[in-house]
Structure 1
Amino acid sequence: MRAVVLAGGVGRRLRPHTLTIPKPLVPIDGTPILHIILAQLRGAGFTHVSLSLGHRAHMIEASFTGNQWAGLELDFFLEEEPLGTAGPLALLPPFEDSTLVMNADLLTDLDFAELIARHKKSQAAATVALSRQYIDIAHGVVELDDDREVTDFREKPRLSFLVNAGIYVLEPSLLRLLTPRVRDDMPALLDRARTEGERVEGHVIEGDWHDIGTPEQLNRAAAAFRNDRARYLGRGAAAVLGAGTGAFQEVGSG
């Protein structure tokens, strides 16, 4: 199985952590975010990962010291200008099969192999992983009808909604909707696909998902990872991580 990891972001919101290293190499409990993701992918049965790089690309490449890492075949593609979350896909060779595409600034215990299997079974052109998020309202909520008559009271309700988790499975046919070297984002690509009658399916993550965009979010993700590494890595990914982290430590120590 093949995956694409979008690792070209600058990480301005994550400063000061990203003042000296690129966002994908910011550590979670001592391990770079990107290395955790790759270990998870290898543990799920992926064998080939393409990394789309931009900001400080040389540092990310150096953290792997080659095109093989813990049993994964890696290749690197450079965005000379930021191309968004979909545009970089036009730089890659055509997909041969259903391909996982994901951002490099997240932590999740999602079973990536199961996601691929569900996507194939659905026969959708794309599957979007979703995370259920909650907002607690500190006040009572009142609803009115068109005549300003009160129709409902809800005391301090908890609202829920689904957010894009930055993880997708795409069919090769979707790449025809991209223009090479033109900035494009995944929501726009999937909207075009739906306009053309393609099925875009959602998959709700039942476990954990953490966006790592700010120092506060990084701290929450690091605490979750530290408290239950086995939940995120499992036996297979933990073994992969142990085999693959030496290259980063060697680069970092220099």
Structure 2
Amino acid sequence: MRAVVLAGGVGRRLRPHTLTIPKPLVPIDGIPILHIILAQLQSAGFTHVSLSLGHQAHMIEASFGGNRWADLELDFFLEEEPLGTAGPLALLPPFEDSTLVMNADLLTDIDFADLITRHKKSAAAATVALSRQHIDIAHGVVELDEDHRVTDFREKPRLSFLVSGGIYVLEPTLRRLLPTRGRDDMPALLDRARDEGERIEGHVIEGDWHDIGTPEQLNRATAAFRADRVRYLGRRAAAELGAGTGAFQEVGSG
């Protein structure tokens, strides 16, 4: 199985952590975010990962020491300018099968192999992994009709939304909808696919999902990962990462 990881972001909102290292190498409990993701993909049965790089690309390449890492075949593609969340796919050779595409700034315990399996069974052109997020409103929420009569009054409600988890499974046929050059984002690509009658499936992540865009979000992800590494990595990878052995080297472990 093949995956593409989008790792070209600058990470301005994550400063000061990104002042000296690229965002994908910011550590979670001592381990770079990107290394956690690749360890998860390897455990899920992926054999080939393409990394789309931009800001401080040389540091990310150097962190893997070559084109083999933890039994994964790696290749690197450089964005000369920011290309968004879909534009980098035009840099890669055409997909031969269903391909996982994901951002490099998240922590999740999603079963990647199960996501691929569900996608294939759905006959969809794309599957979007979704996270259920909640917003607590600190005030009473009032609704009015057109005559200004109160029709609903809810005290401090909790609102729920499904948000994109930054994880997608795409069929090779979607490549025809990519621009040959320049920026393109995944929502626009999937909108074009829907306009052409393609089925776009949603898969709700039942477990844990953390966007890592700010220092506060990084702290929450770190606390969750520190509390239960096995939940995110499985026992073998968690043990090897903890020991700093093999391809799984913790930051500062040498």
- For Structure 1 versus Structure 2, the TM-score category normalised by the shorter chain is over 0.9
- Is the 1:54–1:78 Cα contact (8 Å) retained in structure 2? yes
Letter in 2 for 1:73: E
- Is the 1:39–1:240 Cα contact (8 Å) retained in structure 2? no
1:137 maps to 137
1:230 maps to 230
Q: Does 1:244 align with 2:247?
A: yes
Structural mapping, 1:167-182, within 5 Å: 167-182=167-182
Question: Counterpart of 2:100 in 1: which secondary structure?
Answer: strand
Q: Does 1:86 align with 2:86?
A: yes
Question: Counterpart of 1:219 in 2: which secondary structure?
Answer: helix
Structural mapping, 1:91-170, within 5 Å: 91-170=91-170
Q: Gaps (5+ residues) in structure 2?
A: none
**TM-score, with structure 2 as normaliser:** 0.95
Deviation at 1:180, TM superposition (A): 2.4
- For 1:94 and 1:237, the matched residues in 2 are separated by 31
Question: Are the structure 2 counterparts of residues 111 and 240 from structure 1 closer, same or farther at C-alpha, using a change threshold of 3 Å?
Answer: farther
Letter in 2 for 1:146: E
Question: Are the structure 2 counterparts of residues 80 and 240 from structure 1 closer, same or farther at C-alpha, using a change threshold of 3 Å?
Answer: farther
- For 2:60 and 2:248, the matched residues in 1 are separated by 13
- For 2:192 and 2:240, the matched residues in 1 are separated by 38
Question: Are the structure 2 counterparts of residues 6 and 34 from structure 1 closer, same or farther at C-alpha, using a change threshold of 3 Å?
Answer: same
Deviation at 1:140, TM superposition (A): 1.3
1:23 maps to 23
Q: Deviations over 1:154-187 (max 9, x none)?
A: 1111100011110000000001111222110000
- For 1:68 and 1:240, the matched residues in 2 are separated by 17
Q: Deviations over 1:181-236 (max 9, x none)?
A: 21100000000000011011111100110000011100110011001111111124
Letter in 2 for 1:167: I
**TM-score, with structure 1 as normaliser:** 0.95
Question: Counterpart of 1:139 in 2: which secondary structure?
Answer: coil
1:202 maps to 202
Q: Select between 7-16 and 145-154 the one with higher mean Cα deviation.
A: 145-154
RMSD: 1.4
- For 1:2 and 1:237, the matched residues in 2 are separated by 20
Question: Counterpart of 1:60 in 2: which secondary structure?
Answer: helix
- Is the 2:27–2:251 Cα contact (8 Å) retained in structure 1? no
Question: Are the structure 2 counterparts of residues 248 and 60 from structure 1 closer, same or farther at C-alpha, using a change threshold of 3 Å?
Answer: farther
- For 1:236 and 1:50, the matched residues in 2 are separated by 24
Question: Are the structure 2 counterparts of residues 172 and 230 from structure 1 closer, same or farther at C-alpha, using a change threshold of 3 Å?
Answer: same
